[in-house]
Amino acid sequence: MKGFWISTAALALAGCATAYDAAPVPEVAAAPPAVTQSMPEQMASMDPSDSILFWSDERRSAAFRDMEGLFPGLEVAPANRVRELPRAAGALPADVQAEIRAYMAQTQAAGVMALKDGEVVFEEYGLGFGADDRWTSFSVAKSFTSTLLGAAIEDGAIDSVDTPVTEIIPALAGTAYDGVSVGQIASMTSGVAWNEDYTDPNSDVARMLAIAPVAGESQAVTYARTLEREAPAGEKWVYKTLETNLLGLIVEQATGQLLAAYAAQKIVEPAGFEGGMFWMQDLTGGNIGGCCLSLRLADYARMGQFALEGGEGIVPAGWFANAGSPLVDFGERAPGFGYGYQWWTYPGDTYGAQGIFGQAITIVPEEELVVAIVSNWPSATSSDHRAGFRTLVGKIAAALDD
C-alpha cells in the first residue's frame, strides 16, 4: 500500500516585518503557521472490509485520538497568535452541568466545550481524553472545506458558486459531474447517485478511498468516473462525502495549495488555534476534504466562534449566514431541518458541523453560543444521540439566557 502514497514535499510558510524606532509599528498580519508532512511508520489498511467504520470500540477510541499514527497527512502548527478563551464569570446551573455529564457518559463523549460570547462556560473531558489531546473530526471537516471555498471566492481564485466544476477540474468533463456547478457540489445537489451507508462495506463511502490510484489523477476524480446521474443537477439532495472530497480538490486546484496549507492561512491563524491540526491525505496525496482532520476540543470551539463572528476579511461578507442557512429545506420529511454549503441547519436559525461517531460543532447565533463535542459513539450514526445533543444545546442556551 505504501507504493500508492505520493510523498508531499514539506511546506514552510513564513513571513517577516520590519519596524523602525522612529516610527509607530503598523499592525501586520501574522505569518501563517508552518505545514509539514506526516507519515506513519505502519499505515492502516485501506481495505473497505477493515474500514474504521467496522472497528471495535476499543480500536476506534485509540484511533480517534491518534489518526496521525495510522494515516499520512499534513501537520499544521498552532497559530502564531492564539485566541484566548477566557473563563466566564458565571457558571452554568448545576442541574444543566449534571445533564451534560450524564449525556457524555451515556454517549461515550470524550469532551464538551461551550462558549458564550467567546468565553468558556463549560468544559469537561472523558474517556481519558484531555485538553491538550487531539480528536478526529470525520465530517466536521466538511464545514472547514466549505470555509476554504468561501476564502477562495474572497481571494478571487474561484469566481463564484455558480462556476461550472469542469472549469476548475477539466478531468470531470464527460463524467456524471459534467454540467454541475461548484455550489451544487457544496450543497450536495449534483443529482449524482451515491450510497453513504456506513454499515455496508460495499457502499460508495466505504470504497471510495480504496480505489486504485491512477497516475496524475486525484483519487476523488477516479472514483467520480464510476458514478452515474440519477436526477438533473440542482433538483435532488443526497449526502455524499465524495462531493466534499471533490470540493476540496476544487479549492486545491483553484488556489494552487493543498487544503492544509490554505487552512493554515485562512482558518488556523485567523481563528487562533492553540494546538496543531492534522489533516489526512488520500492515496494520491491530496487532503481529504470530506473527512478526518484532528484538533483539540478547544480549537473545534474556536472554529465555531470564528464562523459565529463571520470570518471578516477571510470569506465574503455574509458567507457563514448563507452557508449555514437551509439552501436545501428538508420540508415534511424533517421539518425545520436542512443543508447549506457543507453545514447542517436546525430549527431556530441554528446551524452546525457534524460527523459520524458523535463529533459536532453547533452554533446558535441568536445566543452568541458555540458548543463543541467529540465522541466515540458505539455506532457511526444515532438519531437519538444527535437529537439528545440538540436538546442539550437548547438547555444550555436557555440557561444562559435567563
Q: In whole angstroms, how far apart are CA 228 and each of 213, 225, 244, 338, 354? A: 20, 8, 17, 25, 27
Give residue for cell 458523535: 358
Residue 225 carries which DSSP code?
A: T
Q: In whole angstroms, how far apart are CA 382 and each of 50, 293, 367, 379, 389? A: 21, 22, 27, 7, 11
Sheet holding 338-339, edge to edge: 119-125, 109-116, 369-375, 359-364, 350-355, 344-346, 338-339, 328-329
User: What is the predicted pLDDT for the residue at 50?
Assistant: 79
Q: In whole angstroms, how far apart are CA 24 and each of 15, 56, 294? A: 20, 59, 39
* Cell matching residue 356: 459520524
Q: Find the CATH number of the domain harbouring 266.
A: 3.40.710.10
Per the structure, how many domains does the chain have? 1
Cα–Cα distance measured from residue 357 to residue 274, given in angstroms and rounded to the nearest whole number: 24
135-136 and 277-280 strand pairing: unpaired
Q: Is the dihedral of CA 321, 187, 301, 36 positive or negative?
A: negative
Collapsing DSSP to helix, strand or coil, 216 comes out as: coil
User: What is the predicted pLDDT for the residue at 29?
Assistant: 64
The backbone torsions φ and ψ at residue 61, rounded to the nearest 5 degrees and listed phi first, read -55, -40
Contacts of 35 (CB under 8 A, 6+ apart): 10, 11, 12, 13, 74, 75, 76, 77, 258, 260, 261, 264
Cα–Cα distance measured from residue 5 to residue 3, given in angstroms and rounded to the nearest whole number: 6
* Cell matching residue 374: 467529540
User: What is the predicted pLDDT for the residue at 371?
Assistant: 98
Q: Taking the model in full, what pTM does it have?
A: 0.91
* Residues pairing with 287 in the sheet: 281
User: What is the predicted pLDDT for the residue at 90?
Assistant: 81
Cα–Cα distance measured from residue 133 to residue 64, given in angstroms and rounded to the nearest whole number: 11
Give the rounded distance of the alpha carbon of 232 from its chain centre: 27
* Cell matching residue 102: 450524564
Each residue's pLDDT, cut to its tens digit, for the chain (402 residues) gives: 333 233 333 222 223 333 323 344 444 566 899 999 999 987 766 666 678 888 999 999 999 999 999 999 999 999 999 999 999 988 899 999 999 999 999 999 999 999 999 999 999 999 999 999 999 999 999 999 999 999 999 999 999 999 999 999 999 999 999 999 999 999 999 999 999 999 999 999 999 999 999 999 999 999 999 999 999 999 999 999 999 999 999 999 999 999 999 999 999 999 999 999 999 999 899 999 999 999 999 999 999 999 999 999 999 999 999 999 999 999 989 999 999 999 999 999 999 999 999 999 999 999 999 999 999 999 999 999 999 999 999 999 999 986
Task: Judge contact between 374 and 135, C-beta under 8 A.
Answer: yes
User: What is the predicted pLDDT for the residue at 4?
Assistant: 29
Task: Judge contact between 201 and 51, C-beta under 8 A.
Answer: yes
Collapsing DSSP to helix, strand or coil, 182 comes out as: helix
Q: Which domain holds residue 377?
A: 2-401
Collapsing DSSP to helix, strand or coil, 64 comes out as: helix
The candidate with the shortest Cα–Cα distance to 64, out of 282, 359, 388, is 359
User: What is the predicted pLDDT for the residue at 45?
Assistant: 66
Cα–Cα distance measured from residue 354 to residue 359, given in angstroms and rounded to the nearest whole number: 6
Cα–Cα distance measured from residue 69 to residue 210, given in angstroms and rounded to the nearest whole number: 19
The candidate with the shortest Cα–Cα distance to 288, out of 239, 243, 329, is 243
User: What is the predicted pLDDT for the residue at 6?
Assistant: 30
